[in-house]
Amino acid sequence: MVESTLTEPFDLVLNEQFSLENCSFFDEHDAVIFSSLTQETLLCTLPVLVFLENLNEHGNISEALRLLPSEHIYVKELLNQLVQMRILTPRYN
């Protein structure tokens, strides 16, 4: 479960309209994620792509987050960015 400034607790899940296969690109070092909902792109490291793949496969953000570097600010910024791009969407409990 992700803490936020919102009063209600929520999980983050992949937006149903986001297709990881169609909206990603990667080379040996970096990945590009594209959101067809906001037309934004994000250049990121490969672990971010692996995180999204795991979230896509298992739907469990806690498990998927283990793959990301542990720096709290980095993860929080990344999740915020993916929410803004509407790749991740909050699911309220």
Partner 1 sequence: MLSKSYTLQTGPFTVSLESSISLVKNYIQQHYSSCMTNTSDDHFIDYHLGVHHGPLYRRLLAPQAEFRLNHRVPFKPLPLSQAHAMFEWGLNWTITSSANQYFIIHAAVLEKNGQAIIISAAPGSGKSTLSAYLATQGWRLLSDELALIDPVTMQVYGTGRPINLKNQSIELMKNYYPEADFSPIAKDTHKGEVCLLKAPEASIANSHTPATPSLLLFVQYTPDEKCHIEKVPPAKSLIEIISNTFNFGLLNQLGFDIAKKLINNTQAYYLEYNSFSLARDAIDSVMKSPRGLQ
Give the interface with partner 1 as residue ranges (CB under 8 A).
Answer: 22-23, 25-32, 34, 36, 39, 41, 43
CB of 54 to partner 1, least distance (A): 20
E strands of 1-93, at which residues?
A: 10-14, 24-26, 30-35, 40-45, 88-92
Nearer residue to partner 1 within complex by CB, 9 or 25: 25
Q: What is the C-alpha separation between 31 and 26, in angstroms, rounded?
A: 4
Nearer residue to partner 1 within complex by CB, 2 or 42: 42
Q: What is the C-alpha separation between 21 and 26, in angstroms, rounded?
A: 11
CB of 60 to partner 1, least distance (A): 27
DSSP code at position 83: H
The residue written with tokens 């990881």 in the block is: 20
CB of 24 to partner 1, least distance (A): 9
Nearer residue to partner 1 within complex by CB, 63 or 77: 77
